[in-house]
Amino acid sequence: MEFDEQAAIIYMRGYLPQEWRDVYDDDQLLNVIDIIWDLYEDSGMLDLDSALSDDDADLSVDEIVAHVTKLLRKDKGSEIADGHIATIVRAELAYEESIGLNE
């Protein structure tokens, strides 16, 4: 299955605690998705040759959360609370897993 941003946002909303689901709009969640995928690209994880030959290219959840946190703190337009970032990142990663992207 291919990654679908709209499906990811819907999945992420379902993953988040009930009281957070309407706090962040689609654009804010999409920003997190974009940051994660930019990190994948920068890390060479989207390069097919690299992905097939280098198992060490995988990023840990903590590394992804740290990167997203760093960029969101720099983004003056971001309204995502620091305490919510890890859960939002985990929601996106759970979507990836649900569609078999990590296999």
80: pLDDT confidence band, cut at 50, 70 and 90? Answer: very high
56: pLDDT confidence band, cut at 50, 70 and 90? Answer: very low
Average pLDDT over residues 72-87: 95
Task: Give the pLDDT confidence score for residue 57 in this predicted structure.
Answer: 56
Task: Give the pLDDT confidence score for residue 31 in this predicted structure.
Answer: 97
53: pLDDT confidence band, cut at 50, 70 and 90? Answer: very low
Distances (CA, A) of 87 to 4, 18, 39, 81, 92: 20, 12, 18, 11, 9
Helix-, strand-, coil-residue percentages of the chain, each rounded to 5: 70, 0, 30
What is the domain partition of the chain in residue ranges? 5-98
Average pLDDT over residues 78-84: 95
